[in-house]
């Protein structure tokens, strides 16, 4: 029987931790916000942290010079109270606020900011995560504690939204090697000035923070923040239902629909930062203007590309593939960034019209054969390869729809859905006709636009540059350069829109839609979150810390009920387990009771 | 203890020299060890070049969705040694291995050996506990099923085992998660709210271990059960069992002392072969329960592809398989005298 007792004790011990949390909830102690993380964390070190979740950790821990505002996602004061530019737009002066403190009590000064940028200019490793922001810097200096002066080599429009966490000089200056593992520890990365202070980090499992009581904007209402790593979104959804986590993002439309209307769960559908597109190989070239790849030459004909664009019904894709959780596409800057987003005017838009597309192809001389398929200039049947991600439901279904529509205008489509790596290789080398693609964009439109400049194309070896469309057009590049050099927001927005219009006119890609960010949270634990942009933006899918900083806990009573029901469940399970164990124990005991002389 | 051994077992522990196989055994062991070393070397070479055949440019992956100019990319390529010829890269890699340097991860920019080291212990804990339980439960059920062959118990157990064996692990895992409705944590190995101190932390880990371990166990035990069952069935009509019964031994002693030890041999091989393989089998379960083990590391690394990590995991896992096979061969020789003299 001793064995049965031991098993019983073990079972009881296994129960204890949960009983403990239930009790804690009932006593309504520190208010904890648990966020499900479905992407990995590589580093805490803000200089090397490159993955999205790590960047997010940096946002909670460190303040930035400026951050995208909660209401419009546009540059707003943070560590810098204000900023000015010189008439030649090469010198930027930031006024650093006086009332900010590091979590070890030392004041935050302009010297810390100067140290951060100078370290990035002199140390290759320090440029790992955000090097692109300083590539064009000439000098950075801090003439006094509240003034930061940055001189750039050429005009740089992204200066008012440098996405670089500012670190404390007194902690980081003594660290000579930024790849040192100790830079990923709480002792080093835990000294911050953001809304939350890092307290514990278990790699690949979770990150814990406590509210920074000295935060210059004021302490968050939540006492503790936990980011819990989930490798599987389905498990994370289950954890939300069980109340193990409070907020979750990156849901699929199916998961989102299933969560809608569930008790104590609220859903949030927000405009996303990502565009989905179908790109066309218009005879792509590398950055030395040599043709590369094996694209079908028929796509060099603008009339052909425009006809194809007319034959893609974005509305159907949004409705049927995205279950309605997307917005119709226009330019490459999504509508979440209102000031820079561009939609074609009514007359210029290529609306879905199979008859018009057919007619345009007839006029262009692509004759239809008896089987309804057209022939190209050499008399060959028109067949285009459509490549995409084999493992993405979106690509699988879009490929089906697009094949159908193109068949209707006399073009046969061969679907080639392949692995992510293979797709990358094919598109980098120009070995495709049509490709399903897409990019996530930043609040600053520079990135989305840069993807389509001549300079972004790969070199002769197929390496270098990050191009999306291989677009290379002097007119577009000129508009791109103008917007980059323009610091008046309204004038810059004008160039940004013109650049998108130019890209659209050449029909090298069709922006199908902008995905919605689909999120859900426990409404019994939290009554609201600060969204970005307002009023109907995202909670977690932000470029900022507003969501977790502005989280408002719900009344305590709801949470206490939850703890109670958990305890009851536990008692029932305990009883079942005990019965099973005792039953098994008796069976084992009986076998042991064979008389000794019966043993051989 | 010695009195209760069967003649076969007694033979197994007698000094091998008595059988005149002293130098033979040494030679056998040396040959097997040399073979194992050769296999591991082959794994290192193959691993390096095979992974180079994977489509995908690590630099393109690292710079995807991030604005990177050609200068930065060239810098990155040089830093990772990707600008050098393939053979030179291999030379560096091979020389590094002997100094315990498995290279640096492209994605995390950390030494691969550190990353594997961190992930090894959780996987060993999860897979190890599931395997030990699976062996115990599988053998026990297998023996019972064989002894009562064609009974309801036998048919039911075989049916259940075959069903669980063919169920996808991730699906079973998710099902358990939903069915247990929050009784056990759904992710990771540690709870951020667990009290500090050795005892509460241990209990916390055990609490997290329950679901992934049960999932693996449910799938693992079937093969032990089925192998044990069929192997025991093969022994059932042997003459020595009739002799034992004729001596007037109780039925369960005939089973425990005579039939089972002889039927165990094929199972021992299976156990050791499986020990090497199970880590890869844990990939899906680790993903469902976000268990921070090697399976997950491999899964993430494949997406890069993070070549140094993949190579490292490949070398470590393949070496484990080779070592376990070596152990199985050596142990089999100890356990079964027929192999030794042959």
pLDDT in tens, B188-241: 999 998 888 899 999 999 999 999 999 999 988 998 999 999 989 888 878 888
Please give the residue that has the higher pLDDT: either B59 or A455: A455
DSSP annotation of A317 reads: I
pLDDT in tens, A74-124: 899 999 999 999 988 899 999 999 999 999 999 999 999 999 999 999 998
Confidence of residue A30 (pLDDT cuts 50, 70, 90): confident
Q: Are residues A205 and B189, on separate chains, in Cβ contact within 8 Å?
A: yes
Q: Rounded CA gap, A521 and A528, in Å?
A: 9
Please state, in angstroms and rounded to a whole number, the distance separating the CA atoms of residues A545 and A558: 26
Report CB contact under 8 Å: B182, A42.
no
User: End-to-end CA distance of chain B, in Å?
Assistant: 29
pLDDT digits (tens, 9 = 90+) for B19-46: 444 567 888 889 999 999 999 999 889 8
Question: Residue B259 carries which DSSP code?
Answer: I
**What tens digit of pLDDT does each residue of A149-187 get?**
999 998 888 899 999 999 999 999 999 999 898 999 999
| Distance from C-alpha of A450 to C-alpha of A572, rounded to nearest angstrom | 61
Q: How far is CA B86 from the centre of its chain?
A: 32
From the list A43, A132, A202, the residue facing B68 with the nearest CB is A132
Task: Examine the pLDDT at A11 and tell me if it is beyond 70.
Answer: no
- In sequence order, the 6+-apart residues with CB closer than 8 A to the CB of B338 are none
Average pLDDT rounded to a whole number, residues A496-503 = 96
Structure confidence at residue B69 (pLDDT): 65
User: Band of the pLDDT at A578, cuts 50, 70, 90?
Assistant: low
pLDDT, tens digit, 9 for 90 and up, residues B257-314 = 888 888 887 777 777 777 766 666 678 899 899 999 988 888 888 776 788 898 898 8
Question: For residues B331 and A350, which has the higher predicted lDDT (pLDDT)?
Answer: A350
How near does any CA of chain B get to the CA of A94, in Å? 25
Supply the mean pLDDT for chain A. Answer: 87
Given a cut of 50, is residue B336 above it in pLDDT?
yes
**Residue of A14, A239, A450 with shortest CB distance to B206:** A14
Taking 50 as the threshold, does the pLDDT of residue B341 lie above it? yes
Q: Hey, what are A526's tokens? A: 């939290």
Measured between alpha carbons, how far is B34 from A295 in angstroms, rounded to an integer?
53
Pairing of strands A32-37, A224-229: parallel
> What is the per-residue pLDDT for A28?
57
Rounded to whole angstroms, the Cα distance separating A61 from A220 reads 13
The candidate with the shortest Cα–Cα distance to B186, out of A566, A414, A244, is A244
Displacement of CA A67 from its chain's centroid (Å): 16
Closest CA to A44 of A180, A186, A174: A186
Per-residue pLDDT band at A425 (split at 50, 70, 90): confident
Reported as a single tens digit per residue, the pLDDT across A267-306 is 999 999 899 999 999 999 998 899 999 999 999 999 999 9
> Which one, of A472, A30, A375, lies nearest residue B193 by Cα?
A30
CA distance B335 to B328: 10
Using the predicted structure, report yes or no on whether residue A590 has a pLDDT greater than 50.
no
Chain A, residues 363-402, CB within 8 A of chain B, namely: none
Cβ A232–B287 below 8 Å, yes or no?
A: yes
Which of A204, A222, A428 to mutate against chain B (most B CBs within 10 Å)? Answer: A204
pLDDT in the model for residue B50: 82
| Spatial separation of the C-alpha atoms in residues A465 and A456, rounded to whole Å | 4
The pLDDT assigned to A576 comes to 54
How many CB atoms are closer than 10 A to CB B92?
A: 14
Does the pLDDT at position A7 exceed 60?
A: no
Number of residues that this document lists for chain B? 342
- CB–CB contact B288 A235 (8 Å): yes
Element (H, E) at B301: helix B294-303
The mean-pLDDT minimum among A96-100, A410-414, B251-255 falls in B251-255
Query: For position B7, what pLDDT does the model report?
Result: 44
Q: What DSSP designation does B97 have?
A: H
| Rounded Cα–Cα distance for residues B209 and B132 (Å) | 14
Which residues lie across from A228 on neighbouring strands?
A36, A206
B190: closest chain A residue by CA: A205
Say which residues have a Cβ less than 8 Å from residue A486's Cβ, sequence separation at least 6: A155, A157, A492, A495
- Partners of A92 in the beta sheet? A85, A150
Identity of the highest mean pLDDT range in A51-55, A163-167, B232-236, B244-248: A163-167
> Is the model more confident about B50 or about B341?
B50
DSSP state of A285: B
Structural domains of chain B sorted by starting position, each given as residue range(s) with its CATH number in brackets: 112-341 (1.10.3720.10)
- Chain B residues whose CB is inside 8 A of the A20 CB are 193, 195
- Residues A124, B191: C-beta atoms closer than 8 Å: no
Task: Measure the CA–CA gap between B39 and B315, rounded to whole angstroms.
Answer: 11
Contact A421/B192, CB-based, under 8 Å? no
Do A361 and A410 form a contact (C-beta atoms < 8 A)? yes
Is residue B175's pLDDT more than 90? yes
What DSSP character marks residue B254?
Answer: I
Alpha-carbon gap: B64 to the closest alpha carbon of chain A (Å): 7
Give the pLDDT confidence score for residue B298 in this predicted structure.
86
Contact A135 B290 (CB under 8 A): no
Q: How far B24 CA sits from the closest chain A CA (Å)?
A: 36
Asked if the model's pLDDT at residue A408 lies above 80, the reply is: yes
Q: How far apart are the first and last CA of chain A?
A: 24
Say what the pLDDT of residue A493 is.
95
Q: In A147-301, which ranges are continuous DSSP H helix?
A: 169-172, 186-189, 233-242, 253-259
Task: Give me the residue label for tokens 């593939």.
Answer: A321
Could you tell me the pLDDT band of residue B105, with boundaries at 50, 70 and 90? confident
Q: Check residue B74 and give its pLDDT.
A: 77
d(CA B3, CA B164): 41
Spatial separation of the C-alpha atoms in residues A309 and A302, rounded to whole Å:
10
**From CA A205, how far away is CA A228, in angstroms rounded?**
6
Nearest beta carbon to residue B203 from set A14, A421, A463 = A14
Spatial distance between the Cα atoms of A110 and A127, rounded to a whole number of angstroms: 20
The pLDDT mean for chain B works out to: 82
**Cα B21 vs. chain centroid, distance in angstroms?**
32
| pLDDT at residue number A410 | 95
Query: Would you say residue B11 has pLDDT above 60?
Result: no
pLDDT of residue B181: 83
- pLDDT (average), residues A349-375: 93
The model's pTM is 0.81
Distance from CA of B94 to the nearest CA of A (A): 23
Q: Is the predicted pLDDT of residue B56 greater than 90, yes or no?
A: no
Q: Give B76's pLDDT tier (boundaries 50, 70, 90).
A: confident
């Amino acid at each position: 029987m001793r064995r049965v007792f031991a098993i019983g004790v073990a079972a009881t011990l296994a129960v204890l931790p949960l009983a403990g949390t239930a009790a804690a909830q009932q006593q309504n102690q520190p208010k904890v916000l648990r966020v499900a993380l479905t992407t990995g964390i590589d580093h805490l070190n803000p200089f090397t942290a490159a993955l999205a979740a790590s960047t997010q950790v940096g946002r909670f821990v460190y303040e930035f010079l400026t951050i995208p505002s909660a209401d419009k996602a546009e540059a707003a004061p943070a560590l810098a109270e204000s900023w000015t530019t010189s008439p030649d737009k090469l010198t930027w002066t930031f006024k650093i606020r006086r009332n900010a403190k590091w979590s070890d009590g030392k004041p935050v000064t302009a010297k810390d900011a100067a140290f951060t940028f100078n370290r990035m200019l002199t140390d290759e490793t320090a440029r790992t995560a955000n090097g692109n922001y300083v590539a064009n810097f000439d000098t950075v200096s801090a003439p006094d504690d509240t003034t930061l002066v940055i001189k750039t080599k050429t005009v740089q429009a992204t200066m008012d939204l440098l996405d670089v966490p500012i670190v404390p000089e007194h902690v980081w200056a003594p660290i000579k090697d930024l790849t040192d593992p100790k830079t990923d520890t709480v002792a080093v990365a835990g000294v911050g000035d953001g809304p939350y202070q890092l307290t514990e980090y278990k790699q690949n499992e979770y990150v814990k923070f406590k509210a920074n009581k000295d935060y210059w904007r004021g302490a968050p209402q939540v006492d503790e923040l936990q980011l819990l790593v989930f490798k599987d979104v389905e498990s994370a959804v289950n954890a939300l239902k069980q109340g193990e986590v409070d907020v979750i993002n990156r849901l699929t439309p199916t998961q989102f629909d299933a969560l809608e209307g569930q008790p104590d769960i609220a859903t949030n559908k927000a405009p996303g930062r990502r565009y989905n597109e179908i790109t066309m190989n218009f005879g792509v070239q590398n950055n030395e203007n040599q043709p590369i790849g094996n694209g079908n030459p028929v796509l060099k004909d603008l009339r052909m590309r425009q006809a194809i664009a007319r034959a893609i019904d974005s509305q159907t894709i949004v409705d049927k593939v995205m279950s309605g959780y997307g917005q119709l596409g226009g330019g490459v800057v999504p509508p979440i960034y209102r000031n820079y987003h561009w939609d074609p005017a009514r007359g210029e838009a290529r609306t879905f019209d199979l008859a018009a597309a057919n007619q345009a192809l007839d006029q262009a001389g692509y004759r239809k054969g008896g089987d309804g398929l057209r022939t190209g200039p050499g008399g060959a049947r028109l067949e285009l390869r459509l490549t995409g991600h084999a493992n993405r439901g979106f690509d699988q279904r879009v490929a089906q729809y697009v094949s159908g529509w193109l068949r209707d205008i006399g073009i046969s489509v061969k679907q080639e859905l392949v692995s992510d790596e293979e797709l990358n290789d094919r598109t980098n080398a120009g070995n495709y006709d049509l490709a399903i693609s897409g990019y996530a964009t930043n609040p600053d439109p520079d990135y989305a636009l840069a993807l389509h400049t001549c300079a972004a194309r790969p070199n002769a070896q197929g390496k270098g540059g990050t191009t999306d469309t291989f677009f290379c057009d002097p007119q577009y590049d000129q508009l791109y350069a103008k917007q980059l050099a323009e610091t008046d927001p309204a004038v810059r927005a004008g160039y940004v829109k013109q650049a998108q219009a130019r890209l659209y006119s050449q029909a090298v890609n069709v922006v199908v839609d902008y995905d919605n960010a689909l999120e859900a949270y426990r409404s019994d634990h939290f009554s609201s979150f600060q969204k970005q942009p307002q009023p109907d933006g995202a909670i977690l899918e932000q470029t900022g810390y507003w969501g977790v900083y502005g989280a408002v806990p719900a009344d305590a009573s709801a949470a206490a009920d939850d703890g109670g029901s958990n305890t009851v469940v536990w008692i029932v399970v305990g009883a079942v387990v005990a019965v099973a164990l005792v039953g098994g124990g008796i069976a084992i005991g009986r076998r042991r009771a064979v008389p000794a002389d019966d043993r051989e | 203890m010695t009195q209760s051994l069967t003649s076969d077992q007694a033979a197994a522990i007698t000094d091998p020299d008595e059988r005149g196989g002293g130098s033979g055994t040494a030679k056998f062991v040396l040959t097997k060890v040399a073979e194992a070393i050769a296999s591991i070397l082959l794994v290192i070479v193959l691993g390096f070049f095979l992974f180079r055949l994977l489509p995908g440019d690590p630099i393109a992956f690292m710079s995807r969705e991030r604005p990177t100019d050609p200068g930065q990319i060239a810098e990155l390529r040089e830093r990772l040694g990707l600008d050098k010829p393939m053979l030179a890269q291999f030379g560096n890699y091979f020389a590094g291995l002997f100094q315990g340097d498995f290279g640096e991860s492209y994605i995390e920019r950390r030494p691969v050996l550190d990353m594997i080291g961190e992930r090894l212990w959780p996987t060993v804990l999860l897979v190890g506990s599931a395997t030990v339980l699976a062996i115990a439960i599988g053998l026990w059920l297998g023996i019972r099923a064989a002894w009562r062959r064609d009974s309801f118990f036998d048919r039911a157990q075989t049916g259940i085992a075959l069903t669980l064996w063919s169920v996808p692990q991730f699906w079973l895992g998710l099902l358990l998660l939903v069915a247990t409705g929050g009784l056990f944590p759904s992710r990771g190995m540690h709870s951020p709210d667990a009290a500090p101190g050795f005892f509460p932390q241990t209990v916390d880990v055990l609490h997290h271990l329950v679901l992934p371990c049960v999932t693996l166990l449910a799938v693992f035990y079937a093969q032990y059960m089925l192998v044990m069952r069929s192997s025991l069935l093969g022994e059932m009509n042997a003459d020595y069992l009739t002799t034992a019964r004729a001596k007037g031994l109780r039925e369960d002693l005939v089973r425990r002392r005579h039939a089972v030890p002889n039927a165990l041999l094929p199972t021992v091989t299976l156990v050791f072969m499986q020990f090497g393989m199970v880590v890869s089998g844990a990939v899906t379960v680790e993903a469902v329960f976000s268990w921070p083990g090697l399976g997950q590391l491999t899964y993430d690394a494949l997406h890069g592809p993070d070549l140094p990590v993949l190579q490292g995991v490949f070398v470590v896992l393949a070496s484990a398989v080779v070592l376990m096979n070596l152990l199985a061969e050596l142990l089999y020789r100890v356990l079964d005298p027929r192999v030794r003299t042959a």
